[in-house]
Structure 1
Amino acid sequence: MSAVSHRLHLPGTSPVHRTPAEAKIVCAVVTVFAVVATPREMFWPFAAYAAGLVVIWRVAGIPPRWIAPRLLIELPFVVLAVLLPFAAGEPRTTVLGLSLSTTGLLAAWGIIAKGSIGVGISLTLAATTSVRELPGGLSRLHVPGMIVTIVVLMLRYVDVIADEAARMRSARISRGDDPRTIRQVGAAARGVGSLFLRSYERGERVHLAMLSRGFTGTIADFGTPPATRGQWFLSCVPAVAAIGVCVGAWVAR
């Protein structure tokens, strides 16, 4: 198992962990679409989505201290959302003495609420699904073999590339470079280019090694069993509930 799976996958024996990957992927995708389709003017649906996520985390045994730091990945979008109330136009309202755009406030709320719940759903899927389960799950969903291969290899080698980038940065610092200064932008750009070339060359070597070992264009699923009807039914419960909340929000709008 790759190092990235140790960072995103949280081993466990809960019913969520035991559910086959294809059922969890379908449930996650449908739920995300329901969250995105929910009108941003309504507040209670997002509270319902968040409550459902918390319930799933409890069932799966995912502690808040594990999930909270990983939610920070959406921080750049939060910063963008905070700026919208100041940049958008009329109509405006006064909040804590500040003149803010009503449209901008709603847009910021929509980005933060939908983004946070979407990231939470993605992290829940990653925490309960190991990399070994992905090939079989994606194949049973009839995802093209080339896409399955790209996804699996990306998850396998993204940590290798990150480690190499860290080593290159350490080498620059040991030679007197200060990456925090604007003068080092050129050196950083050359480092990115060098990392790209090394990654491309590594990809060619890995591909040749795979071909020499009998690679036929598809990733093996390691014998993971397909989802049963009962597992499909249970995994669809959160998705159906999310669709119900979305429809209820549009009706009550």
Structure 2
Amino acid sequence: MGSGHSHPLYRDGDSPVHRLPAEVKVACLVVFVLAVVATPRELFWPFGIYALILLVCWRAARIPLRWILPRMLIEAPFIVLAVLLPFAEGGSRVEFAGLQLSVTGLYAAWGIVIKGTLGVAASLTVAATTTSRELPVALSRLHVPAIIVSMLTLMIRYIDVLSAEARRMRVARISRGDSPRMLHQIGATARGVGTLFLRSYERGERVYLAMLSRGFDGRVPALAVGAGCPAPASSRQWVLALLPAAAAVLVAGASWVLP
């Protein structure tokens, strides 16, 4: 919707990963993340293999590290939380640089940081190679409930509209002498957020009534293949796309068996 049916995280390209149907990429992402989460945090070598799997995927998708790394800063708040755990947890402690750190807290912090980082990196890989128009179609083919697909489709459709509305409101405030960076203007900023919420709610009511008047029954009609909708994934595409996920599952299983 918006500009070229893309989103801010989409990286235009024609790599083998870009050409894969979105449903196989979503399935691969879910399996990969579950394998990472299931890995014992006390081990280190499995996470190195997971990182290597991601590097291979980035190479196949032609995504450079300089594009991925800045966008992974979204997890910074969780890293700050993880840094505090070695000081807050109890149990046995070790001394490092004159500080008494909890062993349990260190493992917990390591688990949060490494698993969160791998999850964010895998999600960015899918986002960078999948347009916003492909995602609802993929979820429908994966038999996600129709109401969730409908909500996601409408969210993707109107997020650009609401962003433009917020920009217009900000420009209007600045043109009237407001300075959004000044602390004393926080009240005006809060009122602007409330106004945007009310406008969004009212717009949603109008859109919903318009959809009902056109026969909307709670589900988004399926797009015809070829009319902006990619063909379903073939068996070969499923096998190729799930190779990284299968490798991650093998690593996760080995982490519980090997010392």
Answer yes or no: same fold by TM over 0.5.
yes
2:200 matched to which residue of 1? 199
Give me the whole-angstrom Cα distance separating, in 2, the residues matched to 1:68 and 1:163. 27
1:228 matched to which residue of 2? 234
Choose from 220, 229, 252 the match for 1:218.
Answer: 220
Give me the whole-angstrom Cα distance separating, in 2, the residues matched to 1:201 and 1:222. 32
1:248 matched to which residue of 2? 254
Aligned CA distance change for structure 1 residues 189 and 148 (closer, same or farther; 3 Å) = same
Q: TM-score, normalised by structure 2?
A: 0.88
Partner-residue secondary structure (3-state), 2:151: helix
Give me the whole-angstrom Cα distance separating, in 2, the residues matched to 1:221 and 1:77. 39
1:20 matched to which residue of 2? 21
Question: What do residues 62-100 of structure 1 show as CA deviations (whole Å, max 9, x unaligned)?
Answer: 122221221111111111111112222232212222222
Task: State whether residues 135 and 220 of structure 1, in contact with CA within 8 Å, keep that contact through their aligned partners in structure 2.
Answer: no
1:95 matched to which residue of 2? 96
1:51 matched to which residue of 2? 52
Letter in 2 for 1:191: G
Give me the whole-angstrom Cα distance separating, in 2, the residues matched to 1:163 and 1:89. 49
Give me the whole-angstrom Cα distance separating, in 2, the residues matched to 1:124 and 1:111. 20
Aligned CA distance change for structure 1 residues 90 and 171 (closer, same or farther; 3 Å) = farther
Task: State whether residues 133 and 221 of structure 1, in contact with CA within 8 Å, keep that contact through their aligned partners in structure 2.
Answer: no
The structure with the greater share of residues assigned to helix is 1
Give me the whole-angstrom Cα distance separating, in 1, the residues matched to 2:184 and 2:258. 56
Aligned CA distance change for structure 1 residues 79 and 96 (closer, same or farther; 3 Å) = same
Give me the whole-angstrom Cα distance separating, in 2, the residues matched to 1:221 and 1:21. 14
1:129 matched to which residue of 2? 130
Letter in 1 for 2:26: I
Task: State whether residues 6 and 133 of structure 2, in contact with CA within 8 Å, keep that contact through their aligned partners in structure 1.
Answer: no
Letter in 2 for 1:235: A
Displacement, 1:241?
0.6
Question: What do residues 149-205 of structure 1 show as CA deviations (whole Å, max 9, x unaligned)?
Answer: 111221232233233334333433444444445544433332222111111112223
Question: What do residues 45-67 of structure 1 show as CA deviations (whole Å, max 9, x unaligned)?
Answer: 11111111111011011122221
Aligned CA distance change for structure 1 residues 219 and 197 (closer, same or farther; 3 Å) = farther
Gaps of 5+ in 1: none
Give me the whole-angstrom Cα distance separating, in 2, the residues matched to 1:222 and 1:62. 30
2:76 matched to which residue of 1? 75
1:153 matched to which residue of 2? 154
Partner-residue secondary structure (3-state), 2:242: helix
Give me the whole-angstrom Cα distance separating, in 2, the residues matched to 1:39 and 1:174. 55
Give me the whole-angstrom Cα distance separating, in 2, the residues matched to 1:180 and 1:89. 41
Task: State whether residues 161 and 199 of structure 1, in contact with CA within 8 Å, keep that contact through their aligned partners in structure 2.
Answer: yes
Q: State the aligned residue count.
A: 253
Partner-residue secondary structure (3-state), 1:8: coil
Letter in 1 for 2:103: T
Percent identity between matched residues is: 62
Gaps of 5+ in 2: none
User: RMSD value over aligned CA atoms?
Assistant: 2.1
Give me the whole-angstrom Cα distance separating, in 1, the residues matched to 2:25 and 2:39. 21
